[in-house]
A and B are shown apart, each in its own frame.
Chain A
């Protein structure tokens, strides 16, 4: 399923409004108060990426800052695509 998702690493993203992020020993839980859906972040790195999206000009830059190497990037891209599809993260306008 996720391989079909498209996600633009070079755009600017942020955690969506009405989404709560709760760190857990395994990563984090995300809850969307609008869709009432729960998501699951598998490790601390993806949590760091998600939390820092709003501070970076692109998702690619957020991944790099969190220490995600080229080899691991496709996996993070898929994880972010899934989060975008479930509206946990959204694009933000850049000026």
Chain B
């Protein structure tokens, strides 16, 4: 059985998972997958977070992708990072850079088990700040300057690919290279506030092809995790994990302890349980009916007869769900254009809405240059994970 088949049947414990520590954020990115902004009063306490870490240690989860919200604004953030790494749970955290000063950078450079992902969605302030908010490019650059000064080599520069930054791929790579950092590209999903901005921001079909060719040319120098497996039909799998790991090898724990199949699927449809329930996270992972269902072989539905089904596997569940497409049909960004056709036939009123909204109460945040704060977070738990290809 191949590695992919093993993973599709699910593992006794996740390889890694995304853990959003808070819904609080200094930014208000127009595509925030978790609609973050304001802290939720029900967020897990420090003691509860420690219990989760103890569980992850027992389950031998290799690492957690910590995000939010902006995780570093939690007063106990560093304490939790230290607790996790002291318990053999590696930490990779995503930040917009707001708290990465010289001291924090030195502390990070000294750790063997902590990795940092600086979120930036454009090589230039104009492109980035249109999505993430005024000043957010400068904040990220300042954080990267501190990391470089502290000698932290190999941190990640994490970019959500949009219609506006695909033309900057070479510039983004040069920016990462200049810091001795590694570029990590992830897919824009219509999740959270992304449900409202996706239609304007997602790459065009021609840009998808451009992205695929660029990724093919750069191989394993650029991390993508499982972000772009839906593009495999263009000419074969890209480096990374070519399957949806939701509920099989990854999942999400949100700030209030709710467990979802993936970070892009904050909706009751993909809710597996809560870490506060008896048995905690381990029981949710092993006994959730939703996860059991996700670990069964997919029927393929309308995609079954497509010659590319083996490579794209129907694409991203969350992307389909939040654009109102059936889960067993084509991805909205199906390279054959079948998703785009199907989108035209959906009833906008019937499209599911993301569940929790912790956005700052400033009214809608349109995609426009010069709007106030945007936020940091597009986090795919597997993005950045290097998996050997063709083994097994």
Chain A contact residues, CB within 8 Å of chain B: 18, 20, 22, 24-26, 29, 31, 33-40, 42, 82, 86
Contacts and interface: CB of A to CB of B under 8 A. Distances in A.
6 contacts: A18-B113, A22-B13, A22-B62, A33-B63, A34-B112, A38-B385
B18 to A, nearest CB: 15
A31 B62 contact: yes
Contact of B386 (A24, A36, A40): A36
A36 B63 CA distance: 10
Contacts of B11: 24, 29
Nearest to B88: A20
Interface in B115-129: 115
A38 B112 contact: no
Contacts of B388: 37-40, 82, 86
A-B CB proximity, top 4 nearest: A31-B62, A22-B60, A37-B386, A38-B387
Interface string B365-392: 0000000000000000000111110011
Given A24-B11, A29-B11, 7 more contacts: A22-B60, A33-B90, A36-B92, A36-B115, A37-B386, A38-B15, A39-B391
Contacts of A25: 12
B3 interface: yes
Nearest to A17: B112
Nearest to B11: A24
B1 interface: yes
B6 interface: yes
A20 B89 CA distance: 10
A1 B92 CA distance: 31
A36 B385 contact: yes
A31 B63 contact: yes
Interface residues of B, number: 23
Contacts of B63: 31, 33
Contacts of B384: 36
Nearest to A35: B386
B223 to A, nearest CB: 9
A69 to B, nearest CB: 22
B8 to A, nearest CB: 12
B242 to A, nearest CB: 14
Nearest to B388: A39
Contacts of A39: 388, 391
Nearest to B85: A33
A39 B79 CA distance: 30
Interface string B20-50: 0000000000000000000000000000000
B391 A40 contact: yes
B392 A42 contact: yes
A77 B112 CA distance: 30
B389 to A, nearest CB: 10
B91 to A, nearest CB: 10
A74 B313 CA distance: 35
B60 A33 contact: no
Nearest to A25: B12
A40 B388 CA distance: 8
A86 B115 CA distance: 19
A40 B90 CA distance: 19
Contacts of B392: 40, 42
A63 B11 CA distance: 27
Nearest to A18: B112
A38 B386 contact: yes
A50 B306 CA distance: 41
A25 B7 CA distance: 12
A22 B385 CA distance: 16
B112 A33 contact: yes
Pick the most buried of A20, A26, A36, A86: most chain B CB atoms within 10 A of its CB: A36
Contacts of B112: 18, 33-34
Contacts of A20: 60, 62, 88
Nearest to A42: B392
B385 A24 contact: no
Nearest to A79: B391
A26 B12 CA distance: 11
A34 B114 CA distance: 10
Nearest to A37: B386
Given A33-B113, A42-B392, A26 B88 contact: no
A7 to B, nearest CB: 16
B61 to A, nearest CB: 9
Nearest to B182: A36
